[in-house]
A and B are shown apart, each in its own frame.
Chain A
Amino acid sequence: MNKIEIGAELAPKTFNINRKLLLAYANASGDQNPIHQDETFAKSVGLPDVIAHGMLTMALAGKYLSDISGSQSVLEFSAKFIKPVVVPAGKDVSLIVSGKVTDVVEGIAKIELLAMCDEIKVLGMAKGVIKL
């Protein structure tokens, strides 16, 4: 674990996203929108293929935040969904999350997150506030 101080770059972590994970997330979150499971439906509404739930990508980035000092330490978390994560059948898509410490005041750290898929930034303005 890197030391949490202003400017510190936190080591990246890779999460694999596949169709099985989308189904598991749909069942865990209650979001059964067919664009996350049904290729024919996804294409019928103009998407290239099935896409991951934005909130699954955010949940994985949230896991990255939790790993810094525990789930109970996360006070704020926000992100914009700027690009869809396309998940073709039979494939593992790598989501690479990394972080940078932008502020530390009285045991509260601000972390800027970067979430990339195929070298494309999929979350914008992804930020967390954690208690150290």
Chain B
Amino acid sequence: MLNPDLVGRTFTSADSVTVTKEAIQKFAEVIGETNFDIAPPTFAISITLEKSQSLLQESGLDWTRVVHGDQRFEIKRPIVAGDVFQCSSTIESARNMAGNEIVSVRSDLISASEVVVSTWSTLVVRA
């Protein structure tokens, strides 16, 4: 059960993440993308998921029971190799439905105080 006091709070990662060409290539190759100069549209999840996972685990969620409900991306400009991001995550809501806990998390990838990509994930924690 998520601590309700955490809803609405924003957590910014202490460490920054540098995007490498290798990371883009590895992700791109899985989906058959041959352009490695620009990250594929869902690449941001490879950064934000890990950050939001550790945040939610620290907040008391059992990650092994988490199922992804939905996902949204807003991409202000494409991610490229060399980008250095801070990841800022906010638990926007948490509610209980039929015994399952439904948590919405927004994560922003921020470079030089500009939001480059925003992601919204709805996670369902199965009872």
Contact = CB atoms under 8 A, between A and B. Distances in A.
B14 interface: no
Contacts of A56: 30
Interface size for chain A: under 10, 10 to 19, 20 to 34, or 35 or more residues? 35 or more
A21 B42 contact: no
A63 B39 CA distance: 11
A74 B39 CA distance: 11
Interface residues of B, number: 30
Contacts of B67: 81
Nearest to B23: A28
Given A56-B30, A60-B31, A66-B33, A71 B41 contact: yes
A72 B33 CA distance: 12
Contacts of B41: 62, 65-66, 71, 74, 77, 128
Q: Could you say which of A28, A56, A63, A124 has the most chain B C-beta atoms within 10 Å of its C-beta?
A: A28
Interface in A6-36: 15, 21, 24-25, 27-31, 33
A132 interface: no
B19 interface: no
27 contacts: A24-B30, A28-B26, A29-B27, A30-B46, A30-B50, A31-B49, A33-B64, A55-B49, A56-B30, A62-B31, A63-B31, A63-B32, A63-B40, A65-B41, A71-B33, A71-B41, A74-B41, A74-B75, A74-B78, A75-B74, A77-B42, A77-B72, A77-B73, A78-B71, A78-B72, A80-B69, A81-B70
